[in-house]
Chain A
Amino acid sequence: MVDDATLEAWFCREVFPLERALTRFIRRNWREESDVLDLRQEVYARVYEAARDGLPRQAGPFVFTVARNHLINCARRARIVSFDQVADLESMDIQPDVLTPDRHLAARDELRRFEAGLEKLPRQCREVVRLRKIEGLTTRETADRLSIARGTVEQQLVHGMRAVADFMRGGSGKVRRPTSKARARNQE
């Protein structure tokens, strides 16, 4: 049984750098775009469960095999998904290109990438993250400095944290909010 500290270090070093390729892989093989991020999170969970019994020698093939099996299971379980999708997935070979992880970034590059992600944030969100990470201000000080509510500071931190994490792993780095479609539906 591998302990959590070892697993966490392994995830950060080997698994999360594969995120861009993994997301692309799921998107290519699953019809519902809105399921992609849920599926990715489930794949990480399955990877965790499988790696607990022993870390694999190579993370890449391991992660994509887990991902493929998970998609097949999901397609089988969801009776609303047609059966040809299951057939497609079962006959699918994992493409060699998805097995190549993004180059591991050196610490300095990671810091640059963090800054680039920060630059992409909306103005207020960027300012809140900057004040916390660089100036070391408290939530209250940030709220006072920007004349906004503390709850807003916290919400902007949540947005910023998530968007920067997405960008650092090769995503678009956009702030995720409830979609306008979801809002329209809720106001019916």
Chain B
Amino acid sequence: MKPLVTREYRTVSYVSGPLIFIERPMRISYGEVVSIILPDGEERTGQVLDISREVAVVQVYEGTSRVDDRDTRVRFTGDPPRIDVSIEMLGRIFDGLGRPRDGKPPVLPEEQPDIGGMPINPYARDKPADFVQTGVSAIDGLNTLVRGQKLPIFSGAGLPANRLAAQITRQSRVLDEEGNFAVVFAAMGITWQEASFFMQEFESTGALERVIFFLNLADDPTIERIATPRCALTAAEHLAYTHDLHVLVIMTDMTNYCEALREISTAREEVPGRRGYPGYMYTDLSSLYERAGRITGRRGSITQVPILTMPDDDITHPVPDLTGYITEGQIVLSRDLFRRGIDPPIDVLPSLSRLMSLGIGPGKTREDHRNVSDQVYASYAYGRDLRRLVAIVGEEALTDLDRAYLTFAEQFENQFVSQRGENRSIEQTLGIGWDLLAGLPVDELKRIGPEMIQRYHPALREETP
């Protein structure tokens, strides 16, 4: 219900950081969009964060520089923040608030949904089930991505998370279905260079017309980053649920998003949680991540690959920590592997895909997938433990068996994890897994049943498939 008169105020009483306070507001609604008109006529956008009879608190997406407390006018729209969505958005570039930034005219909206979205009723959700082949062995083989999942990449400063994300985007396919996919790319505070890397990447694979870009770059207003992923997910929902597309949403870098959240919280003088991040950051992040999924009876789906930077490679930092508690697993990049030239430098031990068992097995990938994955994991973990031992007592002190495990760990990193842009089918991935396992005594393969060993072990199987 739109009010007949828009209400305009000149009662800015207090400005602090990204926030402005407006005195004596009347019938303002919580969460509504406001336009802030600066004395020189520039118009900015904001959103109501807190209302009372005395004062309304507004966060200004573009920042508060040059806002004054005499001539600045604030116009309340009475509406929550909305975005124009349409299938025509594919191939276009928008700013962090969903306005075109590619110089072309605005899209003709098919809908104007609230970017806040509404929670999916858990009962209406459909179980993620389809195996997504990313062509990356460490993911497909050991941390399988499933359609409708949210699987973040935990990166560190300088680690090639973007290259991995681009590779996933380029290579991802669901085995028996192709074509009706789209990518929504939300950039929050990344550099122009990083954004342009993605654009070139999509261009070179001819996927550009299947991508919607929402770009909030490093020099764009920070508070706008609060809205960017919401705009992107709203567009993704439109593509998925109105146009039946399978949408992959890449959000990078979530650490920048959380910093914007912290900035607002600090400006509001809220009681800080860990490391100054607000106590409600878990709830806030989940309102983004939980928008991934599938809905019973609808054909489209939303799969999320958020990327975040772990400050100082610390996985217990609040941003990766809270993310890990919401997402269905994580792919962790390791500086150690990166230094040793492993590409992609995925450390599989802390990595995890919680929905893996929904996407693998007979009829989906292969019957031995779970066993091979468990065995490879356990053996690699043991091999890694031995490395520490070797550092102390030297390799000579090890038994032959332990030396076999050391070799296994080495080969696993160099042959299984490292693949340098190669696109591997799941058969190839499992094949490499078996080849490596064959270096261990058969008795040691405790996680694989005897029949599977008969059928797939390179030294035992009757004929090569």
Are A and B a genuine interacting pair, yes or no? no
Q: Which A residues fall within an 8 A CB radius of B?
A: none
